[in-house]
Amino acid sequence: MHPIRKQRLFVVLFIVVGSSLAAFFIISALKQNLNLFYEPSRVANGEAPIDRQIRVGGMVAEGSLIRQTNSLAVNFIITDFAANVAVEYTGILPDMFAENAGTVVTGFLSESGTFFAEQVLAKHDENYMPPEVSAALDSAKQSATQLNN
Amino acid sequence: MIPEIGHFALLLCLPLALVMAIVPLIGVAAKNSVWMRFASRLAVMQWLLLFFSFLALSYSFYIDDFSVKLVTLHSNTALPWYFKLSAVWGNHEGSLLLWVLILASWTLAVAVASNSIPLAMKTRVLSVLAMISVGFLAFIIFTSNPFERSLLMTPSEGNDLNPLLQDIGLIIHPPMLYIGYVGFSVAFAFAIAALLEGRFDANWARWTRPWTNVAWAFLTVGIALGSWWAYYELGWGGWWFWDPVENASLMPWLAGAALVHSLSATEKRGVFKSWTILLALLAFSLSLLGTFLVRSGILVSVHAFASDPERGLFILAFLFLVIGGSLLLYALRAPVMKGGTAFALISRENFLLINNVLFSISLTVVLLGTLFPLISTALDLGSYSVGAPYFNAMFAPLGLLTVFIMGFAPFITWQKFKLFKHQSIQWALCFLMALLLSVLLIHTLSQQFSVNFNVFAFVVSSLCLWLILNTLQHFFFRLKQGGRFFHSFSQLSLSYYGMVIAHIGLAVMVLGIGITSIYESQKDVRMAVNDSVSINAYRYQLSGISSVTASNYDATRASVDVYHRAKGESSRLITTLYPEKRFYRASRNMMTEAGIDASLTRDLYVALGEQLEPGVWAVRVHVKPFVRCIWLGAVFIALGAILATFDKRYKRSNSVRSEPALASPPNH
Amino acid sequence: MSSRFKLFIPLIIFTVIAAVFFRLESRIVSGEYDPSLLPSALIGHPVPEFSLASLSTNRQLTSSDLPKQAYIINVWASWCISCRVEHSYLNALSQKGIKIIGLNYKDRPVDALQWLERLGNPYLFNLSDINGQLGLDLGVYGAPENYIVGADGIIRYRHVGILDDKVWRDKIAPLGLLW
């Protein structure tokens, strides 16, 4: 084969094989690491899977934050005012974490319905609200009003 | 009065830039050199006006002129002068002004430093830069005026600068990052000029290279500073979060890394021309994308500015015009045939190609991971987030593969590489030595930190040492070739030195990332005074808690003694750390200030969580081996890129020379 | 595949990405999707019932004290510097006869009264929401915030951040309320 043709063939082959391999790996890694967001109402409805990492967000219910006295374990309840999810977490809570404030937790839902959080995020300034939380509160409030009417 | 004059100077720049974008181009078309030369003069004027405008804004911040709305919202009298200065660009409007000032500075640099480039080419480049300037000036003037007054009443005190941003790292991080981002506009302008002119020769690549190198070096430093800042200021010991805004700065960096290398192939061998042009367009487009993401309100991030959607639409439209327009021009005008000569399977051309493929894949990984949540939201597929494990899982193999291949890179010759027997023996020896040193390194680490020998850490350190040793081997091989030792030191070109330093820098950085990620340990504990916690060979003891008051915050400060006990030795006190929990009065924000003892081989890190009950605190402690290598490596990389810029062959007197033998064949 | 066609691939990919951004951005502009703010769940609903102390008198104020024409509920506090920037505009509004109810949010009454004395009082009356109770019901996340209420007592619009002429022109005037 002509050297330039051969070279071009190699280049094309290399790019095709390389990019399809890369595409395969990218897609499989992406699939494993996508965390879908669930509102507390949907968790209560049993819509959330229990075997994979998910995110749940809402407001930290007033008076629900309980600390263990001998460790850093905390329990609190996330609510969208329509349903509650009990959360257990061990570690340091972010600076802005508080009752009556928005939060998003990442972790796993257990069979018993308790959510074991691996990461807790809180709004980082006065005006910040994770978009999903606002949407969750929004739809929960709407359905609550519909029920009342 | 000063703010009005500053505003006026800013307004004046817009018609100036418009003229600069149009008139010189007409001059090129009409072959009128007077009109063409006009561009350089306008570039100087634009810079002077913008510099003055920026000074005016800084002055308003400096004297606490609270009649200017921006000053009231982002600064106050209690701030020390250097934070007042950084407050100028710690907000949307001010940072945008800095952005155009930097653009004007790059334009000025091109106008002044490229007298040797053919006038038509230089004029086109300047005009393209002016077009970008027009867009951004219009953006500032119509949507984000930094000089707006709050006319009816002047407050006597201002809001605070976000405490997160009250930090020395943040004074220099944004300017560095912007210099890098905006610097790619020069490569972009050169690419557009080449597309307009239809000329893609080695000269084009040689003119573009130094600008690209400098921009890329600044971007490297900017990103490293950002990571360093996140490490000690966000408080929790992470140095990279795969946050969308971080990713937005990483993408142009990856494109830039590919561009720096493919430019060398285009310059030396005249190959990969259309690919190189595409990368030049891409690097700047990704910089613009980053600017857009930070300001559009699409993302929520620590780094994002408060935004209004109108601005988002404006910048999106501008983005579409610039990127879409340039890609269309590219599609219509880029050279179709791959020019140049044949090269063998194993040749430097192909190695550079592999480099480009690896960087492009990394770029795609980041792009997909960053955009996927946005795409799923736009298409109503649900609200997803992409976890850090995705990026880590992709970058670990990509990075290691890159490091392995880079070990061979300097040896491979252009066109065709002939493997001599002694060469393969030397490589094998080098590899063995790397393995040996790696065993030694990991073993010492395990002793020092009382951790187990980790096979993956061994693999990472072997590969990094292989890259370092092989690069050094090539360096000494070149020195020996040059004959007399000291004589040959000066014989080697600066771009060669640059390559050696940058490649070693990457090895150091990957080593740092690998060792830190594998061997770092962290504990969150509940501590009262005199409680202690052990983490590997280190013991942290909370020895006291006190209150501190500063001009703009109150803080609780803990003192934590750290003891170390290596295997078979007795425990000894190394240092005392003072982590703080700060409450900023003006903005009523809580901030965590970590206590860090840094050294090349390990960082000891303590951060205060919340107060659990009187005298009892949640405390996070870290031991992070080799974490400093990450930033040290980045500094090496930047240094290498800068060194290469000062290579003799980019000097003015040499830069116009006759077409090399490898001129491209005609397109048709 | 023709060689020239290949060169269009980057343009095509870019166009797709740009389309996604346009869709997102236009959803943000239309208020359908807002990544950073809580669109108050109360828009389209009446102002929640409350019973709070007045800031300046000792009277207890309730929902029945609210005006029977369009008005603004302005959330402010003396610790909020942005509120200071906003205050002069509020003064101007009240001069024009627009009714503004203050919600003094998580503030010390002493500081708040001092502020009004110094900077002028544009408010019809002020509710003292020391522990943020009404703020919570309204979904307040900081100060300043403004709730635009129609004559029928229904919340029409919420503006987070400083109320100024631009916001008035672009967002509030188009609501077509009778002031």
What is the average per-residue pLDDT within B493-519?
Answer: 94
Nearest CA in chain C to B304: C36
pTM of the predicted structure, to 2 decimals: 0.83
Predicted confidence at residue A11, as pLDDT, reads 73
What is the average per-residue pLDDT within B455-469?
Answer: 95
Confidence bin at B448 (pLDDT 50/70/90): confident
Strand partners, B153: none
Q: How far apart are CA B57 and CA B321, in angstroms?
A: 30
**Same-domain status, C160 and C83:** yes
Confidence bin at B256 (pLDDT 50/70/90): very high
Interface test with A, best of C3, C24, C106, C141 (most A CBs within 10 A): C141
What is the average per-residue pLDDT within B439-451?
Answer: 88
**Same-domain status, C17 and C79:** no
CA distance A100 to chain C (A): 8
Instruction: Name which residue leads in pLDDT, B88 or B656.
Output: B88
pLDDT single digits (tens) B571-580: 899 999 999 9
Confidence bin at B654 (pLDDT 50/70/90): very low
Question: Which of A123, A131, A141 lies at the smallest CB-CB distance from C34?
Answer: A131
**Same-domain status, C85 and C133:** yes
Confidence bin at B588 (pLDDT 50/70/90): low
Nearest CA in chain A to B162: A125
Nearest CA in chain A to C33: A131
Q: CB neighbours of C116 closer than 8 A, spacing ≥ 6?
A: C55, C56, C123, C126
Predicted confidence at residue A144, as pLDDT, reads 44
Confidence bin at A127 (pLDDT 50/70/90): very low
**Same-domain status, C6 and C62:** no
What is the average per-residue pLDDT within B440-465?
Answer: 90
- pLDDT exceeds 70 at position B655: no
Q: For residue C83, list chain A residues with Cβ-Cβ distance below 8 A.
A: none
Mean pLDDT check: name the lowest of B151-160, B521-530, B627-636. B151-160
Predicted confidence at residue B168, as pLDDT, reads 78
**Same-domain status, C72 and C129:** yes
Closest CA to C3 of B273, B357, B349: B273
Nearest CA in chain C to B338: C3
Interface of B with A in 573-612 (CB under 8 A): 589-592, 607, 609-610, 612
Is residue C43, in this structure, part of any structural domain at all? no
Is residue C90, in this structure, part of any structural domain at all? yes
- pLDDT exceeds 80 at position B332: yes
Instruction: Name which residue leads in pLDDT, B555 or A22.
Output: B555
DSSP per-residue letters across B215-273:
HHHHHHHHHHHHHHHHHHHSSSS-S----HHHHHHHHHHHHHHHHHHHHHHHHHH--SH
Closest CA to B101 of B148, B61, B143, B53: B53
**Same-domain status, C32 and C59:** no
CA distance B108 to chain C (A): 31
Confidence bin at B305 (pLDDT 50/70/90): low
**Same-domain status, C79 and C137:** yes
Handedness of CA B436, B441, B446, B448 (dihedral sign): positive
Q: How far apart are CA B619 and CA B76, in angstroms?
A: 32
Is residue C46, in this structure, part of any structural domain at all? no
- Strands across the sheet with C155-160, in order? C125-129, C99-105, C71-76, C145-149, C155-160
Instruction: Name which residue leads in pLDDT, B300 or A88.
Output: A88
Q: For residue C143, list chain A residues with Cβ-Cβ distance below 8 A.
A: 126
Confidence bin at C81 (pLDDT 50/70/90): low
- pLDDT exceeds 90 at position B628: yes
Q: CB neighbours of A147 closer than 8 A, spacing ≥ 6?
A: none
Interface test with B, best of A74, A76, A95 (most B CBs within 10 A): A95
**Same-domain status, C104 and C139:** yes
What is the average per-residue pLDDT within B151-170?
Answer: 69
Query: What residue segments make up the domains of chain B, in order of their start?
Result: 1-152, 174-386, 406-519, 521-628
Q: For residue C27, list chain A residues with Cβ-Cβ distance below 8 A.
A: none
- pLDDT exceeds 60 at position B73: yes
Question: Which of C33, C36, C143 lies at the smallest CB-CB distance from A129?
Answer: C36
Please state whether beta strands A115-122 and A84-90 pair in parallel, antiparallel, or not at all (unpaired): parallel
Instruction: Name which residue leads in pLDDT, C35 or B195.
Output: B195
Which of A93-97, B232-236, B249-253 has the highest mean predicted lDDT (pLDDT)?
B249-253
Q: How far apart are CA B608 and CA B465, in angstroms?
A: 37
In total, the C-beta contacts within 8 angstroms joining chain A to chain B are 104
Strand boundaries in B572-660, DSSP class E: 572-577, 580-584, 589-593, 595-598, 602-613, 616-625
Interface test with C, best of B75, B76, B152 (most C CBs within 10 A): B152
**Same-domain status, C145 and C70:** yes
**Looking at this predicted complex, what is its ipTM?**
0.77
Radius of gyration of chain B (CA): 27
How many other C-beta atoms can be found within 10 angstroms of the C-beta atom of residue B364?
17
Please give the CATH topology (third level) of the domain spanning A37-148.
OB fold (Dihydrolipoamide Acetyltransferase, E2P) (2.40.50)
pLDDT single digits (tens) A13-48: 877 887 788 888 888 888 888 888 888 888 888 888
Predicted confidence at residue B337, as pLDDT, reads 57
Residue contact C81–B324, C-beta within 8 A: no
Confidence bin at A125 (pLDDT 50/70/90): very low
- pLDDT exceeds 50 at position C39: no
* Cβ of residue C26 closer than 8 Å to a chain B Cβ: yes
- pLDDT exceeds 50 at position B474: yes
Question: Which of C33, C37, C45 lies at the smallest CB-CB distance from A129?
Answer: C37
Is residue C42, in this structure, part of any structural domain at all? no
Confidence bin at A102 (pLDDT 50/70/90): confident
Tell me the average pLDDT of chain B.
Answer: 87
Residue contact A145–C45, C-beta within 8 A: yes
CA distance A21 to chain B (A): 10
pLDDT single digits (tens) B115-153: 888 999 999 999 999 999 999 999 999 988 999 887 656
Is residue C59, in this structure, part of any structural domain at all? yes
Which residues form the domain of C89? 51-175
Confidence bin at B661 (pLDDT 50/70/90): very low
Is residue C44, in this structure, part of any structural domain at all? no
Confidence bin at C2 (pLDDT 50/70/90): low
- pLDDT exceeds 80 at position B457: yes
DSSP per-residue letters across A95-139:
TT--TTSEEEEEEEE-TTS-EEEEEEEE-SSTT---HHHHHHHHH
Number of structural domains, chain C? 2
Predicted confidence at residue B298, as pLDDT, reads 65
Residue contact B323–C24, C-beta within 8 A: no
Which of B125-134, C8-17, C64-73, C115-124 has the highest mean predicted lDDT (pLDDT)?
B125-134
